[in-house]
Amino acid sequence: MKKHNFSAGPSILPQEVLKKASEAVIDFNGLGLSLIEISHRSKDFIAVMDKAQALVKELLELPEGYSVLFVQGGASTEFLMAPYNLLPEGGKAAYVDTGAWSKKAITEAQRFGETVVVASSKDKGYNYIPKGYDVPADADYIHFTSNNTIFGTQLKDFPGGDVLKVVDMSSDIFSRKLDFSQFDVVYAGAQKNMGPSGTTLVIVKDAIFGKSGRNVPAMLDYAVHAKAGSMFNTPPVFPVYVSMLTLEWLKEKGGVEAIEKLNNEKAELLYNEIDNNPAFVGFAAKEDRSNMNVTFTLADESQKEKFDAIAAAAGISGINGHRSVGGYRASIYNAMPIESVQVLVNAMQELNK
Ligand SMILES: *Cc1c(COP(=O)(O)O)cnc(C)c1O
């Protein structure tokens, strides 16, 4: 039986994407060769890279003056690439601490210089998004985590005025319409909403190249990857190809605006059940709820065995909460059909019967 995959990452991809990707592993473009055994400098693969980059620009409506990179090392490498490229010696970086991923980004920035945490929601176990804080005007940049995959909270605004904005968008990129002209660096590991793990999408405003004035190693330099069209070294050909397929799928679905509508319907369906079913309690503050990762717990922990059995029988997979939060987390990324969310809602209702 095909399961309903609520995994937080690596996570669900569209069935048609998985099918096309598996075919390309055997015979790509009718070449009689696998996608993963041809040169990344062949015209067939260059077309994949070009198309993937063009689709990112089109789907996110990026203005002129931004480069789209596909690099390796995961979002975790971006935690250090951002300060390496943006924070000069003696400079100051500002961070908003909204959970475990923000904390890791902060830890890396501290290796490069003064790092100010301008706001944190740690006091309440990261169940909300801090608001109404000041961003020091002399900061070299401010860093946000747009969606907190573990805690199920999501930013609606990115304050900071003229200060450069860096955003970890790993778990909600392509899920909602945003004005990207306000951002200077956006990064996202592919494995939450775009493709397999192994590549990281980085969107970078060309104006920031060289900003830190540091002697940045080539592999960690945004400008080097941009100039080489993400072919400075061998790119992760399979993750880039699958990402391209997912972006084609998204375009066929009507793009970001259409998927946002669907994502909101899915989230509303599930949050409604959490709010109306006395057996469950939502984790995140209502106004800060994520439409990608829905976190909740049982009102009565002794019902865990029963609910887990109901969920398993319904073919529900991957709803266990992160080890640091407990409870449940249903990740309802772009590729998750609303029918699967309904299956989960039915299972939650079944618990009361
Ligand atoms: C998963 C995740 C990361 C870590 O990504 P890796 O690709 O494993 O390094 C960072 N930030 C957020 C918000 C995430 O969800």
Ligand 1 and 9: CB distance under 6 A? yes
**In this model, does residue 324 exceed pLDDT 90?**
no
- For the chain, the first-to-last Cα distance in angstroms comes to 25
| Gyration radius (Cα) of the chain, Å | 21
Ligand 1 and 75: CB distance under 6 A? yes
What's the pLDDT tens digit per position in 294-308?
999 999 999 999 999
Catalytically active residues are: 101, 168, 192
What's the pLDDT tens digit per position in 227-262?
999 999 999 999 999 999 999 999 999 999 999 999
Q: Report the nearest atom of ligand 1 relative to the CA of 146.
A: 13
Tell me, which fold does domain 15-252 have in CATH?
A: Aspartate Aminotransferase; domain 2 (3.40.640)
Q: What is the pTM of this model?
A: 0.98
- Mean pLDDT across the chain: 97
Q: What percent of the chain has pLDDT over 70?
A: 100
pLDDT on residue 88:
98
- Mutate-to-test residue for ligand 1 from 71, 154, 170, highest number of ligand atoms within 8 A of CB: 170
Going from the Cα of 108 to the center of ligand 1, the distance in angstroms, rounded, reads: 14
Domain boundaries, the chain: 4-11+256-350, 15-252
Which amino acid is it at 87? L
What's the pLDDT tens digit per position in 3-30?
999 999 999 999 999 999 999 999 999 9
204-220 per-residue burial string, b: 16 or more CB within 10 A, e: under 16: bbeebbebbebebeeeb
Architecture of domain 4-11+256-350: Alpha-Beta Complex (3.90)
Ligand 1 and 198: CB distance under 6 A? no
What's the pLDDT tens digit per position in 103-126?
999 999 999 999 999 999 999 999
